[in-house]
Amino acid sequence: MSSELYTKLRRLDRGIAAAYKSAVGSSYRGSISKREARVIFNKAVDNERISTKEAKALVLIIDDARFGTDAKEYLIKKLKTSAAKEALRDGSGKLLLASSELAKLNNALKQFTNKINFKSPGSNIRYTPRDYSVIKYLINEHWLFVYELKDSGLHKRTKTGKGVYFSSSDELYLVAGLGSKSYASMTVHEVTHAIQDWRDIRSKVKYIEADAYVAQAVANHTMGRSISEGNKPWQVAYHGAGKMVYENRDGSRNQAWKDAYQDLVQAVEGHGLYSHKHNKRRNYRENSPVVDERKVYRIILRKLTRRR
Ligand SMILES: [Zn+2]
């Protein structure tokens, strides 16, 4: 069985295949230790790039290989580091610059953000459609960079989410191959994080995420996407706080809205993506080493407002 895995790995990446073989032995019966998991990881990032094929090899190993104590967790942890993310960006990411490449993203932001208008009880920030226009402008003027990642599904194994926004580098990573509604929904979520970054907000992770889920849910309603019920943040947002915003039933003196928002915060707290960090404070102002983001943001907001 395991020699089959080796054969598949060899077709994808010889270095990773060799590291796998030396870990499990020529009988293919052994298991990968933590130290050997490190060797496999290092093979994948050796040229500071994780290609789509290398990502596929890692997915196969994570799914099918035998691991010793803590070894699999260790490999996954390494793949969640920013070094790994950057290697994935450089090895399997495509930077979208031309307007034709950005058309899908532009359409999503143009079509599905017009009902996003709420003041967050958590972060106290108000989000309006204009905020999304500003980020759209920034992306198209290349102040902010969008990458499409062909990661062979690696994000599912590392439980990273289909989109990630990096405030320190002003980069947005979106995995390739999503359906159009799923893509639009993810884009609105991540662009909400870009708004938070460029407005230099300070808040706890759970509120930062809850706000992004509200916006995403409003977009889902706007595009007529249906989401099943459940306790995942996107489900709670869709049937609760996001729906209220979509139907203009939110408001600072409205207890039902505050309760719905609080339910969503709880869903964020309870979700594996955030359980280790939801109470951490995030200060987006710290992450602006070169550009005064808030200033640029205000100037563009003024410019876009005047144009209307
Ligand atoms: Zn998020």
What is the whole-number distance in angstroms between the Cα of residue 232 and the centre of ligand 1?
13
What is the whole-number distance in angstroms between the Cα of residue 82 and the centre of ligand 1?
16
What is the whole-number distance in angstroms between the Cα of residue 166 and the centre of ligand 1?
11
Q: How far is CA 4 from CA 17, 19, 28, 72, in A?
A: 11, 15, 9, 20
SS3 of residue 193 by DSSP: helix
Q: Report residue 53 CA to chain centroid gap.
A: 21
If you average pLDDT over residues 102-108, what whole number do you get? 96
What is the whole-number distance in angstroms between the Cα of residue 16 and the centre of ligand 1?
32
Q: Is the pLDDT of residue 1 over 80?
A: no
DSSP symbol at 178: -
If you average pLDDT over residues 37-65, what whole number do you get? 96
Q: Is the pLDDT of residue 197 over 80?
A: yes
Report the percentage of the chain scoring pLDDT > 70: 97
Output the average pLDDT for the chain: 93
H or E element that contains 164: strand 163-166
Instruction: Parse the chain into domains and list their residue ranges.
Output: 2-79, 102-145+177-307
What is the whole-number distance in angstroms between the Cα of residue 189 and the centre of ligand 1?
6
Q: How far is CA 27 from CA 2, 6, 22, 270, in A?
A: 9, 11, 10, 43
Contact residues for 26 (Cβ-Cβ < 8 A; gap 6+): none
What is the whole-number distance in angstroms between the Cα of residue 37 and the centre of ligand 1?
29
Contact by Cβ (8 Å): 167, 197: yes
What does the pLDDT look like over 241-291, one tens digit per residue?
Answer: 999 999 999 988 899 999 999 999 999 999 988 888 888 888 887 655 667
What is the whole-number distance in angstroms between the Cα of residue 210 and the centre of ligand 1?
8
What is the whole-number distance in angstroms between the Cα of residue 65 and the centre of ligand 1?
31
What is the whole-number distance in angstroms between the Cα of residue 212 and the centre of ligand 1?
6
In this prediction the pTM is 0.89
| pLDDT value for 161 | 83
Contact by Cβ (8 Å): 250, 218: no
What is the whole-number distance in angstroms between the Cα of residue 209 and the centre of ligand 1?
5
What is the whole-number distance in angstroms between the Cα of residue 213 and the centre of ligand 1?
7
| pLDDT value for 2 | 63
**β-pairing verdict for 171-175 and 145-149:** parallel
